[in-house]
Amino acid sequence: MAKKLIGSAIIGQSGGPTSVINASILGAIKKALEAEEITRVYGASNGIIGVLNDELYDLNLEDKNELELLRYTPASALGSCRHKLHDDDDYEYKRILEVFKKYNVRYFFYCGGNDSMDTCNKISKYCIKNGYECRVMGIPKTIDNDLYCTDHCPGFASAAKYIATSIMEISLDTRVYDYGNISIVEIMGRNAGWLAASAALSNINGMGADLIYLPEVPFDLEKFIDDVNDIYEAKGKVIVAVSEGIKDKDGKYISEYNNSKKEKDKFGHIQMGGLAQYLANAVKLRTGAKIRGIELSLLQRCAAHLASKTDYDEAYLAGKAAVENAIEGISDKMVAFKCSRGKNVSDYKCEIELIPLENVANYEKLVPQEWINKEGNNVTKDFINYVLPLIQGETELPKENGLPRFARLKKIIVK
Amino acid sequence: MAKKLIGSAIIGQSGGPTSVINASILGAIKKALEAEEITRVYGASNGIIGVLNDELYDLNLEDKNELELLRYTPASALGSCRHKLHDDDDYEYKRILEVFKKYNVRYFFYCGGNDSMDTCNKISKYCIKNGYECRVMGIPKTIDNDLYCTDHCPGFASAAKYIATSIMEISLDTRVYDYGNISIVEIMGRNAGWLAASAALSNINGMGADLIYLPEVPFDLEKFIDDVNDIYEAKGKVIVAVSEGIKDKDGKYISEYNNSKKEKDKFGHIQMGGLAQYLANAVKLRTGAKIRGIELSLLQRCAAHLASKTDYDEAYLAGKAAVENAIEGISDKMVAFKCSRGKNVSDYKCEIELIPLENVANYEKLVPQEWINKEGNNVTKDFINYVLPLIQGETELPKENGLPRFARLKKIIVK
């Protein structure tokens, strides 16, 4: 066993919100508060930005009951960021180390996606290079489910459950009239189509998406219109799920067909949106059908009222495991899931594994081609078998006045 | 007591879907199936269209357990329509009477909004004029809550609960980054702002909409941008709820500013949509802020997974009361709610009343001006007191595979 490392801990959140990212930090916070090695538990205000700005919350001062509500509270309770550390000089790394030293920070836990694991990895390397002992652990989080080396990511399953449930409800809604209609539902996912693929779950109970288009398959607008029209002529009602990140064979985003001046974020990712309406117009021109574009928008990633219990339980465990392992002497790892599935949903088992940060950072895991049908417009039974165990169980989110009772932290800044 | 009237019953649904319209017909179907006066229970396929086309489902053949699931199943299980009966000649009325006679229909229950109550009223008058005894009862339904003579309408509360919950979640989501942003959420409601007003519920538990714009207040784009900008400068984050039906002082829909070729439906109503994006662009031009338009779209009316228990219980009672009263000899009435509220939410009481159909048909109930603040950009505490009791209680929707288990009716057409 590694030597006991005594000092304080910083816990931070980064990247886009999910329904269960706060369950992960709850697991980390609770374990850190009870660990005798950890002298004080700080929350970074807006992730690494909070470290750079020396804006830390004293989590020891939070009410225990409010902390417990983090399990059911969506978005990032400590605040998030999309800050990419400057690599051309080490100014920011120096500053981080300065703040770590100021608070004797010996544990750094960072919950996020690809870019955040990269941040973790670089901070860890910098500390080692400068002879400062700090154990750095990544806690996975992303609705996109595109992190490498893990069966799946916390946050994905709750988004998948929201998408599948909503499409079932939309499907019933659009079937009430005696005339035909087509609905095109736009789903998040820049390069990986895991979320759009989850629309296939809506068909398990007999009502849902007819066609599914993922970024993993080059998108052909003419073929798409033919696909939609074939189902429209056969059944009169069509539900289509499309990933916001579908691209043509030349790699151009279809959402860009409509607008050449798309904004890019700080990581150079193009801002998506408006695709459903574009495709709806294209289909309408050809078929003349009544057609509606529906963007699930922010709700797919923050609708905690539909979170999967499996998801938030696993998210909690991932946060807890990060702290447990760091105390044991582990560093430079991301907590990952190794899962097995059997014939029945209940055969599902999930274990924690630890993956070197550099193996995770900046790789994107895509939906395997063998889980996509030959036509490139739906997913196979293997995908369903993969995702179905993850969406099991309902949230126990407490209600007040018939509405969610989300956590209200004091967030007292350390002076 | 009126004489016993022996014969069959037709139950139909009309207008837009809601989360609880099937709870209403379940109340009616169950009562009709057990009533000795009612010899057979038929469901009209797509409302009055099904009567005109002689397409009726034999509801006596349905599985009892599947019927029970109607309580939790959104949209219109029997199919709906937006058909306006032709008034220039009596061809359609003759046809309806012909079908009524063919099946010895002595009870007609129609679940819908303003236009449907008008349809009920006209059919009833035509039967009387032609000496055919048929008891006609309207069952209210509309998310818009714009029916006259009733405290509220089944369907409204579940939509309100969905809107408030979703805005709370969106609010948390938009607060995670350290930069400012503005979200504009577009909510259904053509002339009455009850649904957009319900966004105010999101503030009860401390997180939600900052500004609310209703069709009841003439909309001034410049004033709107000023309102948004004031909050943006003070707080950095703004959540705005707007009703799709907001109009300028000349009565022109703001959504038409963007598009002069809006389609009209069969009742002459203009098809709405795209407003959130239009307003987002207008605010962005002025403030330069990061801004997002979110359309809640179909989900606000069909998201049964967030239905209010109070709502579906009342919806069920309304359907049941329609049949009970018809058997007792009542006709030509709509079932309505008379409610009282006290200091606490639990003081709420709801009783059934019967309202003459002609008093209801074609009037629209708007949000009272005294429930709107002086600035015309929010609602008062009185509105909250009105709506809060209606959203209480959670759905008991059964799940299968972690997803809703909605009713699957056989819908066997009577030959």
- At residue A353, φ and ψ (nearest 5 deg) are -130, 165
How confident is the model at residue A303, as a pLDDT? 96
Distance CA B61, CA B415 (A): 13
Cβ within 8 Å, pair B173-A81: no
Contact between A57 and A10 under an 8 Å Cβ cutoff? The reply is no
Contact between A339 and A150 under an 8 Å Cβ cutoff? The reply is no
Rounded to a whole number, what is the distance in Å from the CA of B117 to chain A's nearest CA?
A: 18
Residue A400 sits at the chain B interface (C-beta within 8 Å): yes
Distance CA A162, CA A157 (A): 9
How confident is the model at residue A148, as a pLDDT? 86
Cβ within 8 Å, pair A170-B298: yes
Q: Which of A25-34, A383-392, B85-94, B374-383 has the lowest mean pLDDT?
A: B85-94
Cβ within 8 Å, pair B400-A205: yes
Spatial CA neighbour of A214 closest among A367, A391, A386, A35? A367
A to B CB pairs, distance under 8 Å: 181
- Arithmetic mean of pLDDT, A54-77: 98
Contact between A293 and A186 under an 8 Å Cβ cutoff? The reply is yes
Distance CA A60, CA A41 (A): 6
Rounded to a whole number, what is the distance in Å from the CA of A114 to chain B's nearest CA?
A: 18
pLDDT single digits (tens) A185-223? 999 999 999 999 999 999 987 789 999 999 999 999 999
Residues of B in contact with A402 (CB under 8 A): 161, 308, 388, 391-394
Exposure of B282 in the CB half-sphere (CA atoms within 13 A)? 20
B45: closest chain A residue by CA: A178
Distance CA A152, CA A146 (A): 8
**Counting every residue, how long is chain B?**
415
Active-site hit among A58, A90, A118, A144? A144
A259 CB neighbour count, 10 Å cutoff: 12
pLDDT band at A269 (very low <50, low <70, confident <90, very high): low
Nearby residues of B76 by Cβ (< 8 Å), 6 or more positions away: A176, B13, B17, B21, B22
Instruction: Judge: domain A156-303, CATH 3.40.50.460.
Output: yes
How confident is the model at residue A271, as a pLDDT? 46
Q: H helices of B191-348, where? A: 194-197, 221-235, 275-287, 299-302, 309-327
Rounded to a whole number, what is the distance in Å from the CA of A179 to chain B's nearest CA?
A: 9
Residue B404 sits at the chain A interface (C-beta within 8 Å): yes
Q: Mind listing the pLDDT tens digit of every residue in chain B (415 residues)? A: 678 999 999 999 999 999 999 999 999 999 999 999 999 999 999 999 999 999 999 999 999 999 999 999 999 999 999 999 998 889 999 999 999 999 999 999 999 998 899 999 999 999 999 999 999 999 999 999 999 899 999 999 999 999 999 999 999 999 999 899 999 999 999 999 999 999 999 998 778 999 999 999 999 999 999 999 999 999 999 999 999 999 999 999 999 886 544 445 455 555 444 899 899 989 998 888 899 999 999 999 999 999 999 999 999 999 999 999 999 999 999 999 999 999 999 999 999 999 999 998 778 899 999 999 999 999 999 999 999 999 999 999 999 999 999 999 999 999 8
Residues of A in contact with B14 (CB under 8 A): none
For chain A, the farthest-separated pair of C-alpha atoms sits apart, in whole angstroms, at 72
Rounded to a whole number, what is the distance in Å from the CA of B227 to chain A's nearest CA?
A: 24
Residues of A in contact with B45 (CB under 8 A): 178
Cβ within 8 Å, pair A75-B176: yes
Spatial CA neighbour of B409 closest among B56, B66, B72, B20? B66
- From chain B residues 57-116, the ones with a CB under 8 A of any chain A CB are 73-76, 79-82
Contact between B275 and B254 under an 8 Å Cβ cutoff? The reply is yes
B337 CB neighbour count, 10 Å cutoff: 20
Contact between B195 and B155 under an 8 Å Cβ cutoff? The reply is no
Cβ within 8 Å, pair A406-B207: yes
Q: Between the ranges A285-289, A312-316, B177-181, where is the mean pLDDT highest?
A: A312-316
Angle formed at CA A68 by CA A66 and CA A71, multiple of 5 degrees = 120
Distance CA B410, CA B59 (A): 9
Does the predicted model carry a pTM greater than 0.90?
yes
Residue B176 sits at the chain A interface (C-beta within 8 Å): yes
* Among B172, B295, B299, beta carbon nearest to A302: B172
Rounded to a whole number, what is the distance in Å from the CA of B129 to chain A's nearest CA?
A: 31
Fold of B7-154+305-363+394-404: Rossmann fold (3.40.50)
Which of A172, A313, A392, A405 to mutate to probe the B interface, most B CBs <10 Å?
Answer: A172
- At residue A11, φ and ψ (nearest 5 deg) are -120, 130
- At residue A108, φ and ψ (nearest 5 deg) are -130, 120
Cβ within 8 Å, pair B392-A406: no
Cβ within 8 Å, pair B17-A161: no
Question: Hey, is B351 helix, strand or coil?
Answer: strand
How confident is the model at residue A265, as a pLDDT? 47
**Counting every residue, how long is chain A?**
415
Chain Cα centroid distance, residue B311: 11
Cβ within 8 Å, pair B17-A176: yes
**Dihedral angle at the C-alpha atoms of B123, B125, B126, B128, nearest 10 degrees?**
120
How confident is the model at residue B266, as a pLDDT? 52
| Three-state secondary structure of B172-219 | HHHCCCCCCEEEEEEECCCCCCHHHHHHHHHHCCCCCCCEEECCCCCC
The complex scores an ipTM of 0.95
pLDDT band at A272 (very low <50, low <70, confident <90, very high): very low
Tokens encoding B380: 């008062």
Question: Hey, is A257 helix, strand or coil?
Answer: coil
What is the residue type of B308? S
Distance CA B269, CA A85 (A): 53
Contact between B74 and B302 under an 8 Å Cβ cutoff? The reply is yes
Active-site hit among B144, B146, B227, B332? B144
- Arithmetic mean of pLDDT, A146-163: 96
Chain Cα centroid distance, residue B29: 20
How confident is the model at residue A260, as a pLDDT? 45
Q: Is the pLDDT of residue A270 over 60?
A: no
How confident is the model at residue B193, as a pLDDT? 98
Q: At what angle do helices B156-174 and B309-327 cross, to 10 degrees?
A: 170
Instruction: Judge: domain A7-143+305-362+394-404, CATH 3.40.50.450.
Output: yes
Tokens encoding B200: 């105010």
Distance CA A239, CA A259 (A): 25
Tokens encoding A352: 């924690």
Distance CA A325, CA A330 (A): 5
CATH number of the structural domain B157-301: 3.40.50.460
Residue A205 sits at the chain B interface (C-beta within 8 Å): yes
Active site residue A144: yes
B364 CB neighbour count, 10 Å cutoff: 13
B220 CB neighbour count, 10 Å cutoff: 15
Spatial CA neighbour of B221 closest among B250, B187, B178? B250
Question: Hey, is A240 helix, strand or coil?
Answer: strand
Angle formed at CA A298 by CA A296 and CA A301, multiple of 5 degrees = 95
How confident is the model at residue B1, as a pLDDT? 63
- A174 burial (CB, 10 Å; 0-12 / 13-18 / 19+) is buried
pLDDT single digits (tens) A227-265? 999 999 999 999 999 999 999 999 999 998 865 444 454
- B60 burial (CB, 10 Å; 0-12 / 13-18 / 19+) is middle
Distance CA A411, CA A25 (A): 14
Residue A264 sits at the chain B interface (C-beta within 8 Å): no
How confident is the model at residue A286, as a pLDDT? 86
Nearby residues of A381 by Cβ (< 8 Å), 6 or more positions away: none
Residues of B in contact with A76 (CB under 8 A): 176
Tokens encoding A138: 């990544």
Distance CA B44, CA A85 (A): 64
How confident is the model at residue B408, as a pLDDT? 95
Residues of A in contact with B177 (CB under 8 A): 46, 79-82
Rounded to a whole number, what is the distance in Å from the CA of B133 to chain A's nearest CA?
A: 30
Distance CA B117, CA B124 (A): 10
Domain boundaries, chain A: 7-143+305-362+394-404, 156-303
* Among A297, A404, A405, beta carbon nearest to B294: A297
